[in-house]
Chains A and B, each alone.
Chain A
Amino acid sequence: MANRVLLGKDGNGDYCLKVSASGANVLTTSNLTFNSLITDSTSGVTSTEGRAFNVIQSGVINGSGTTAATYSVQFPSIVDNSGNYSIPFVHALYEKTVTETNIAAGYYTGYGYHASGTYSWGAYMLLESHGFNSSGGNYTSGTQYGRLRFNASNPGNMSLSYYILAIPAHG
C-alpha cells in the first residue's frame, strides 16, 4: 500500500499536509488530492492558497402554488477582521419537480439576479452579503446575516438546492 498522507516536513523542507491519489506515494508524487502548500504568484492572480470548498450552510427551498413568490434563507455574514462583508460563493441547483429529468445546475455569485430562462425555469436568485437578522428582517444588533432569495414565477414546479461556501466571491 502506498504512503498517501503526509503531515509534517516534505522533501523540500516545508511543513504541510499532503494527500496523494490512490496508488501514489505522497513522498514523491505530484499527483495530490490535497496540498496545503498551494500558492500562485502568477501576474493577475490573487492566490487562493488552495482553499477547500467548505460549506457553511446548505439546504433546499421548495416553492408552492402557482402564484409568483419570493423565498429566502439567511446565512451568517462573512466578515473579515477589518469589518468588510463579503458575498459568499454559492452553488445552487435549480430543479423542476414535475419531472426529475429536467434539472439545471448552475454556479451563482454576486449581488444581483440570475435572469430567467430555460435553466432557471422562470426563477432568479439574489444574494445579499449582510444587513439582516436571522429571520430576514433588517439588522439591528447581534449577529448579522446575509440573505439568499429565490424568486419563482410558478413556484409549485420549483425547488432550489443550495450550498453556501465559506469563500468570499472575490476569492
Chain B
Amino acid sequence: MANRVLLGNHGTYGYGLYVSKSNIDVTGANIEDFLFASTATNNNQLLLLEWIPITHGGSGTTTVTQQYANFNKDCEVMMVYTSGGEPVTAGSATDAWSANDFGSLFTGLVTLTNTKTSSSVGTLTLTATGASSYTLNPIIAVFTQEI
C-alpha cells in the first residue's frame, strides 16, 4: 500500500499536510496527484447548497433573500436555473455560472447578487421581474473560494 498521508516536509512542496490519490506515494506525488494539499490557494469547501425558489406574480419586482455564514469570505457563487426541479436554461451571459454578480438572466428577467454583508454573514438576493407569472427553483451553491 502506498504512503498516502504526509504531515511534514514534502521534498518538492515544503511543509504541509498532503493526501495523495490511491496507490500514489505522497512523498513523490506531483501536484495533480494530491487529493488535498495545504499549500493550495484554497481547498474549496461548500458553504451553502440550497434550492431557493422564487415566484413572480407578473408585475413589479419580486425579491428573495437568503443569508448564510460566510466565515469572512467574499464567496464565489454558482447557480443552476431550474423549474419544477429540472434545469431548463442556462441564462444568457457567459459568466452566468460562476460569479458574484450574475446580472440579468432568464431572458433578462432574473438577477442574482451575492454580498459580503459582514465578516460573518453573506447575503444572496434573487430578483424576478416581467409581465408574466412564473416560478423558478434554482439551486444556488456558495463556495469558500473568493472572487
Chain A residues with CB under 8 Å of chain B are 1, 4-5, 7, 17, 19, 21-22, 30-35, 38-46, 48, 50-54, 89, 104-115, 117, 119-120, 167, 169-171
Contacts and interface: CB of A to CB of B under 8 A. Distances in A.
Contacts of A21: 41
B31 interface: no
B22 to A, nearest CB: 12
Top 10 A-B pairs, shortest CB-CB distance: A112-B86, A171-B49, A50-B45, A40-B69, A34-B43, A19-B38, A48-B46, A51-B46, A119-B90, A30-B72
A106 B79 CA distance: 9
11 contacts: A7-B7, A17-B17, A34-B43, A39-B69, A50-B47, A107-B80, A107-B98, A167-B46, A167-B49, A171-B49, A171-B50
Contacts of B68: 40, 42, 45
B87 A50 contact: no
A110 B46 contact: no
B46 A53 contact: yes
A109 B17 contact: no
Nearest to A50: B45
Tell me the interface secondary structure of chain A in the complex: loop
Nearest to A119: B90
A17 B16 CA distance: 12
B47 A117 contact: no
Tell me the interface secondary structure of chain B in the complex: strand
Given A48-B46, A51-B46, 14 more contacts: A5-B16, A38-B69, A38-B144, A40-B48, A42-B68, A48-B47, A89-B141, A112-B82, A113-B86, A113-B87, A114-B90, A117-B90, A171-B46, A171-B48
Among A104, A110, A167, residue most surrounded by chain B Cβ atoms (within 10 Å): A110
B132 interface: no
Contacts of B135: none
B71 A33 contact: no
A50 B70 CA distance: 11
Contact of A104 (B43, B51, B94): B94
